[in-house]
Homo-oligomer: A and B are copies of this chain.
Amino acid sequence: MTKHNVHASVKDEKLVMKRREQMVKGAVQLFKQKGFHRTTTREIAKAAGFSIGTLYEYIRTKDDVLYLVCDSIYDNVKERLEQALSLDKVSVLSLRQAIANYFKVMDELQEEVLIMYQEARSLSKESIPYVLKKELEMVQMFEDLLRQCAEDEGISLTEKEIGAIAHNIFVQGQMWGFRRWVMQKLYTLEEYTELQSNYLLYGMYMRKEEMGK
């Protein structure tokens, strides 16, 4: 793991994991409500179920909490994404299914994703590249899927095109949560999925038709 470590005074690895889980869980709830800056370390400790002193046995600074939270969210998203995208056969149709699955994940985790985007700026200089790397890995999951699908279906796509489509899928998923105040007034998740899938995959359909001619 290239994860840059957050120092803990406590030695027991198992315990560190457990306490950090509690901590992240509490912090996420608070960050959802009031954001990182308006949340105090005391509140985090309380939400985690231990004292302020104990909190600082597992982190060095408040910024560490933010990093741990972002890290955890990414891991969470990625894990669920891996499940959502593990399809046996990769046709254009199953690509639609993958997108739908992804959108559903983003719907469920929308608040967590919101935290990441709004507080990312406050991450320390050292944490940022690590977090960005994780994001790229996720986009790559879509790229792999697209490449496979293009191959299976005999559609030729340049790498740049694959990158752009993957990116657009990724962004459109985030938008559902990120701009929910408007999107979720206009569409149901199903409608949104249908609509966006069409646009996202128009390119692929057209290529297929072209080639079929």
Contacts and interface: CB of A to CB of B under 8 A. Distances in A.
Interface residues of A, number: 37
Interface stretch (A16-24, A77-85, A194-202): A194-202
A175 B182 contact: no
A182 B118 contact: no
B118 A196 contact: no
28 contacts: A35-B122, A37-B37, A37-B122, A38-B122, A117-B117, A118-B118, A118-B121, A132-B181, A135-B182, A136-B182, A160-B186, A160-B195, A163-B186, A164-B187, A164-B195, A164-B196, A167-B179, A167-B182, A167-B183, A167-B186, A168-B196, A168-B199, A171-B171, A171-B175, A171-B179, A199-B199, A199-B200, A206-B206
Interface of A: 35, 37-38, 117-118, 120-122, 132, 135-136, 139, 160-161, 163-165, 167-168, 171-172, 175, 179, 181-183, 186-187, 191, 195-196, 198-200, 202-203, 206
